[in-house]
Amino acid sequence: MKVIPIYIEAGITGFESPAAEYTELGLSLDELLIKHPHATFIGLANGDSMQEAGIFDGDLLIVDRAEAIQHGDIIVANYNGAFVCKQLDKHQRRLLSASRGYAAVQIKEGDEFQVEGVVTRSIRLHRKAKELLICTH
């Protein structure tokens, strides 16, 4: 993908043609956003439980399976058969929402729990995209 560096301000009423000072950069979104291509998948966020962390309903989540999981990371996990996107409290074995309307979830013995990967990026979509994976509250 070739990128034309244009700085656009919200509310601007017009600007010069992008071709006026066309500069072509060799930049790949894959290279920019994905550290481990063979261990990364993209999911679609669903729900409002992670809004205070900047993840909104319909956002794309870039999830890296190769990243070491650390306390406080935002992760995608399989929790009792459902894919969830939460902040991981490794010390107290809890899943935390980033919205006051949701209580912490204690991970108990006997629960099915597997971290699928660390959310390294989220991308806000201004038009709907195909569903890739649903991460719910």
Residue of 35, 49, 97, 99 marked active site:
49
Active site residue 130: no
Would you say the C-alpha torsion 67, 71, 76, 81 has a positive or negative sign?
positive
Which ranges of 10-106 does DSSP label H, i.e. alpha helix?
29-33
* DSSP-based three-state secondary structure for 98: coil
Question: Taking the chain, what is the end-to-end CA distance rounded to the nearest angstrom?
Answer: 34
Quick one: which of 22, 30, 23 has its CA closest to 1?
30
Q: Please report which helix (H) or strand (E) contains residue 49, including its range.
A: none
Residue of 2, 17, 86, 90 marked active site:
86
Would you say the C-alpha torsion 54, 55, 58, 62 has a positive or negative sign?
positive
Active site residue 122: no
Catalytic residues: 49, 86
